Structure 1
Amino acid sequence: MADKKTAAPALDLDLPAPNLAEMWHTTTHWVQVHYLSILIAFGAGVLIYLALSALKGAGKRWRGTRGDPLSYANVVGRAASRTGHFFRIMVAARLVVGYADAPESLFRTVAFLFTIATVFQGAIWAREIILGLIERKTLAEDGGAETLANAMGLIRVLVTFALFAIATIVVLDNLGVNVTGLVAGLGIGGIAIGLAAQGIFSDLFAALSIIFDKPFRRGEVITYDQTTARVERIGLKSTRLRAMSGEKKVMSNANLLQKEITSLQTLTQRRVTYAIGIIYQTPDEKAEAIPALLRAIVEGEGMIFVNAGIVAFGASSLDYQLNFDVPDPDHHDYFQMRHRIGLAIWKRFKAEGIEFAYPTQTSFTAAPDGSAIMPYPPVQPVRDVSGKP
């Protein structure tokens, strides 16, 4: 028996078309001479085909029956379930012609088809594994199915194009085709397309960055620039937000990611700061008791008191600052609690006789020597009919 062929020789594109009659004759002669080896190899090929078919069936079962749809077993099962019928046939045929010392023309034909089947089947497996891992990474953390669905079409197209482009180049290279020019052409074309649509691609990749890096999620309240808004939808080109004042805002993904974003969603509590000014004529004991008074007001409303005290001597007021935390970070509850605390401070100060300051100005007049004088002449005392003042 002749030596086994282990690899397909490079395809010589200058060779004439194969002679079908000669191929039929040599194949018939090969079957007559090596029928026993062919039968053995054919049996082994059938077993390999059945084994690959069983692998595909097992992949479907792993994908459909395992508890966690995002487990690695399901990802592998997803890839195994995509094993193609043509690939299974060519694996079996390659074993037969390699083991039974097939004629050169038949061997080259089977090796050619086996190369194509193997490379593209590998691309299909790689695509399913990559997409499965992407879904696992995105969905396993926060279940963002809707966000992923917005980008999954684009991701699938990009991954499929990249893998099948590589597979095509690998096939051509194995067949002896010079692919240097093709690779260079694809590179130049990709650069030209990227420059022409750089604005669109920047937003698309910004959307992918939002999906995978998760600076914010759908439903979160975020602050950027001077705007506080809730994220309503993350699209491939833009993100739609609803401002706390009710306006709908649409921003491109690339522009939004360039801003400093503060997420309020993960806050366990929110800090409220009040500036309070009282008049300078306030009695000392009342001014000293104000921090304890503010603490009692805040804790009486169920909030978390932080501190309070004098922070400045203003032009018209003695300035205090109150800091307290609202346990519920929801914007509406935070606003309502700030209102309740402010109203309670106003009522309590009013009951205690503590006056809030407002801008005032006192004018003093002076004589030429600098001494203060009254701004109006002295008034003669009024006397009654008896002449007494």
Structure 2
Amino acid sequence: MSNSNTIAPPIEGLHRGDLIAQVRGVAGDASAWFTTHWLAIAVAIAIGVGIFGLLLLLRGWAIRLCKRGEGVATWYSIIGRALAKTGTFFMIMTSARLVIGYADAPPLIHATIVFLFTIAAVFQAAIWAREIIFGAIEHRTQADPGHDHGLASALGIIRLLVTIVLFAISVVLVLSNLGVNVTGLVAGLGVGGIAIGLAAQGVFADLFAALAIIFDRPFRLGDSISYDKGSGAGTVEAIGLKSTRVRGGNGEERIIANRKLLDFEILNTTRRARNRFKFDFHLGYGIDPDLVRSLPGLLKEAVESEGYVLVHGGLNGFSDAGLSYDLEFESVEIDFPAEARDRVAAAVLERFHANHIDFAYPTSVNLIAGDVEKIPTGTAKAD
């Protein structure tokens, strides 16, 4: 006990003395540097203040650009929003780093400024990258007014993941610049990420499918879709992180995993460029050949009189029931009223009645040898 009490004070005094000596040495070097290079230091400070002022003006311009494009995710506002996040510490260290070489600073001061500038630059770059990525996501999704809480949560998760990844990279870069061996840290992070990914691969698969729905937009809320080769159909009511809810035609709610839903071929009937219908009918073989020649014109006139476009209207061939015809027409725009088929059918019937054209009905005729009666011209059927 007595030996330890007698030895401790000299060791403590030695460490404290070394520290005081180092501080005095740095202070002496700084004093000598100021005394010898005061003019160069003054010029460097003036230039640094000017650079800092320019950076402040640039940040102010970026903030005004953000306000001018507020609420609109244009690329101008995205870049402006990123520049507006420029930190004051980064601007100070940038100014100091640009002028430190002109002042012939001592090695310790020069190394300190370079070190602080490296830290500020790395984290500032991460902040800029994060804002640009967030802005790009907003720019991509701003045209979709049907975002619900599920998609909002998905976007929140994207922001969290992007922030974690960017700042983790920044920490690794800073440690690497400090001379720390980060190989083990990077390997550990990689192994941990693989383990988490394998444990929750189903959840991540559905999450990434939800992100695919956000960016690729195969459907939106309120769209009518059919999937799984038409075995499932309904209206999209909600798009969540893991599943999508579709309201079926009978009123039932179908909950489908996002990953599984995107594996199907999806038919989005809401996004039709046009709508199309087709009628099939037969005319008797006793029809006047002149009417056969004029029939395509009559069908086209009937369709266009109701404001629709004729795709095909004419003879398909000969059949047991008579001359086989079809009439196919489509809408000019997406909207196609429910009574469209009735109106076109009425227009066709008007022209058939005016020209004494009758539909064919299936008939059976028994012929007796020597019978000279004509086969009925056909008064047949409408499909």
Q: TM-score, normalised by structure 2?
A: 0.71
Structure 2 partner of 1:144? 144
State whether structure 2 residue 372 is matched by structure 1 residue 354.
no
- 1:76–1:329 distance in 2 versus 1, CA, 3 Å: closer
**Number of residue equivalences:** 343
Equivalent of residue 120 in structure 2, options 103, 107, 117 = 117
CA drift of 1:290 comes to 6.3
Q: Is the 8 A contact 2:225 2:269 kept in 1?
A: yes
CA drift of 1:168 comes to 1.2
Aligned-partner Cα distance in 2 for 1:199–1:19: 60
Structure 2 partner of 1:180? 183
Structure 2 partner of 1:47? 50
Structure 2 partner of 1:24? 23
CA drift of 1:41 comes to 3.8
- C-alpha distance after superposition, 1:16-54 (max 9, x if no partner): 999643443123213321221544444444333333333
Structure 2 partner of 1:375? none
CA drift of 1:349 comes to 7.0
- C-alpha distance after superposition, 1:66-95 (max 9, x if no partner): 599444433322121111133234334556
Structure 2 partner of 1:270? 275
- Residue 209 of structure 1 aligns to a residue whose secondary structure is helix
Aligned-partner Cα distance in 1 for 2:123–2:201: 31
Instruction: Report the residue type matching 1:28 in the other structure.
Output: A
- C-alpha distance after superposition, 1:167-225 (max 9, x if no partner): 11111111111111222222222222222222222222223333333444455444433
Q: Is the 8 A contact 2:321 2:360 kept in 1?
A: no
Structure 1 partner of 2:162? 159
Q: Is the 8 A contact 1:84 1:121 kept in 2?
A: yes
Aligned-partner Cα distance in 2 for 1:25–1:204: 59
- 1:274–1:248 distance in 2 versus 1, CA, 3 Å: farther
- 1:328–1:112 distance in 2 versus 1, CA, 3 Å: closer
Q: How does 1:368-379 map to 2 (within 5 A)?
A: none
Structure 2 partner of 1:58? 61
Identity of aligned residues (%): 42
Aligned-partner Cα distance in 2 for 1:299–1:74: 48
- 1:59–1:345 distance in 2 versus 1, CA, 3 Å: same
* Higher normalized helix content (fraction of residues): 2
- Residue 284 of structure 1 aligns to a residue whose secondary structure is coil
CA drift of 1:118 comes to 1.6
Aligned-partner Cα distance in 2 for 1:91–1:215: 46
- Residue 34 of structure 1 aligns to a residue whose secondary structure is helix
Structure 1 partner of 2:212? 209
Segment of structure 1 superposing worse, 71-80 or 121-130: 71-80
State whether structure 2 residue 36 is matched by structure 1 residue 33.
no
- C-alpha distance after superposition, 1:306-347 (max 9, x if no partner): 33344365566764322112224236x1x3312443466678
Q: How does 1:154-303 map to 2 (within 5 A)?
A: 154-224=157-227, 225-226=229-230, 227=232, 229-242=234-247, 248-265=253-270, 267-277=272-282, 283-285=286-288, 288=292, 294-303=299-308
Q: Is the 8 A contact 2:85 2:128 kept in 1?
A: yes
- Residue 279 of structure 2 aligns to a residue whose secondary structure is strand
- 1:45–1:328 distance in 2 versus 1, CA, 3 Å: closer
- 1:177–1:363 distance in 2 versus 1, CA, 3 Å: farther
- Residue 339 of structure 2 aligns to a residue whose secondary structure is helix
- 1:218–1:132 distance in 2 versus 1, CA, 3 Å: same
Structure 1, gaps ≥5 residues long = 1-15, 365-370, 372-389
- Residue 133 of structure 1 aligns to a residue whose secondary structure is helix
Aligned-partner Cα distance in 1 for 2:18–2:160: 41
State whether structure 2 residue 76 is matched by structure 1 residue 77.
no
Structure 2, gaps ≥5 residues long = 1-14, 370-383
Equivalent of residue 135 in structure 1, options 130, 135, 138 = 138
Aligned-partner Cα distance in 2 for 1:303–1:117: 66
Structure 2 partner of 1:102? 106
- 1:26–1:92 distance in 2 versus 1, CA, 3 Å: farther
Aligned-partner Cα distance in 1 for 2:286–2:366: 23
Instruction: Report the residue type matching 1:33 in the other structure.
Output: A
Give the root-mean-square deviation of aligned CA atoms. 4.1
- Residue 328 of structure 2 aligns to a residue whose secondary structure is strand
Aligned-partner Cα distance in 1 for 2:138–2:16: 48
